[in-house]
Amino acid sequence: MELIDFDQRFSDYLNQWMEKNRANYKTPEEMEEQAPDVYLRFLNTPADWLNGKTPGEAFDDQQDAGELCKLLIRYITEEIPVPDPLLDRLLELGDEKAALELVTDATAPCEARMLMIDLLRQMESTAPMVDYIRWQVERNEEEEILDNALESLRLMGDKVVKPAKLAFNAAQAEGKEALLDVLCDYPGDEDVFHFALEQFKKTKDKRALYAGYLAKLEDDHALEALLEAAESEDVSYIDFIEIRSAIERLGSEAPIRDFSDDPTYKAVKRLQVK
């Protein structure tokens, strides 16, 4: 199947539209605001380069999601932008198995796997849950894939808690930290809380991150450590903001601090003045 550059075709369509409609708009910015509507017209206008089909229908005859996944990889490999209608058709077919096969194919282009993670998320699929959790523990995938998978885990709801907790217990610190991003939405687990608290105490370059987790975990036993950090001489303005937020969320009051000599504080104040 010939790979068609839909982006270029739309660019040509848009340029033609601009030439025809230039007199109807006072500024180029006004014309640019119409681009989304023009794109919808492009998708629904029969095109001779598609033998009379509309761009939005370009892949509607395709019934095999696996073949469409192969086509997607070809687009990426040949450095042609992946067409939106191709992704829309994959979503319509809703073939979780084909999408999961591509997501878990370590030899596939990162971009293809990322798109399939997004697609499975749109399907509200829990099929990749075990793989996504395993990735967080093993840490062998690229960071952007790990982060995207983590976002999907968070959106899977409480069904992810039990398997994530089992993996959390078996993980090293980096894996625990990743899974904490999911588990902190479900407070009450002592192991999770104690890990977050200990990391807050000993990982000073991540104080803001762990302060946010402690706030979500809603255990006021964290207040002593939070207040101590809020009062410390080495706390930065940015960290203090997150620590103060956590303290207040847990029902206490943070100390009043003067950060007038902190470079970040000065920068923020300059922006506020502007």
> In the prediction, which pLDDT does 101 show?
98
Question: What pLDDT, on a 0 to 100 scale, did the predictor assign at position 153?
Answer: 98
pLDDT tens digit sequence for 140-193: 999 999 999 999 999 999 999 999 999 999 999 999 999 999 999 999 999 999
Amino acid occupying residue 41: R
Which two three-digit tokens encode residue 250? Answer: 């847990």
* DSSP secondary structure, 235-274, as one string: --HHHHHHHHHHHHHTT--PPP---TT-HHHHHHHHHHH-
Query: pLDDT value at position 1?
Result: 73
Digit-coded pLDDT (tens) for 125-134: 999 999 999 9
The 3-state DSSP composition of the chain as helix, strand, coil percent (nearest 5) reads 70, 0, 30
Predicted pLDDT at 263: 82
Each residue's pLDDT tens digit, 228-273: 999 998 899 999 999 999 999 999 999 998 888 888 877 777 767 5
| CA neighbor of 79 nearest in space, from 147, 3, 141 | 3
Coil/strand/helix, residue 10: helix
The answer to whether the Cα torsion of 145, 149, 104, 173 is positive or negative is: positive
Tokens of 270: 């300059």
In the numeric block, which tokens belong to residue 71? Answer: 């086509």
Would you state the pLDDT for residue 146? 97
Confidence at residue 269, expressed as pLDDT on a 0 to 100 scale: 73
Residue 205: pLDDT band (50, 70, 90) is very high
User: Are 105 and 136 spatial neighbours (Cβ–Cβ below 8 Å)?
Assistant: no
Structure token pair of residue 178: 């990743």
| Residue 274, pLDDT score | 55
For residues 5 and 58, what is the distance between their CA atoms, to the nearest angstrom?
Answer: 12
The string of DSSP codes covering 132-190 is: HHHHHHH--S-HHHHHHHHHHHHHTGGGGHHHHHHHHHHS-HHHHHHHHHHHTTS---H
Q: How far apart are CA 174 and CA 172, in angstroms?
A: 6
Question: Could you tell me if 236 and 264 are in contact, meaning their C-beta atoms sit under 8 angstroms apart?
Answer: yes
Q: Using DSSP, state whether 107 is helix, strand or coil.
A: coil
For residue 104, with 0-12 CB atoms within 10 Å meaning exposed, 13-18 middle and 19 or more buried, which class applies?
A: middle
In the predicted model, is pLDDT for residue 211 greater than 70? yes
pLDDT at residue number 86: 98
> Is the pLDDT at 26 greater than 90, yes or no?
no
| Distances from the Cα of 15 to the Cα of 20, 24, 204, angstroms | 9, 15, 53
Q: pLDDT tens digits, residue range 51-108? A: 999 999 999 999 999 999 999 999 999 999 999 999 999 999 999 999 999 999 999 9
Burial 139-178 (b: 16+ CB within 10 A, else e): eebeeebbebbbebbeebeeebbebbbebbeebeeebbbb
Q: Under a CB-based contact definition with an 8 Å cutoff, are residues 117 and 103 in contact?
A: yes
Inter-CA distances, 13 with 26, 40, 47, 181, 252, Å: 21, 11, 10, 44, 60
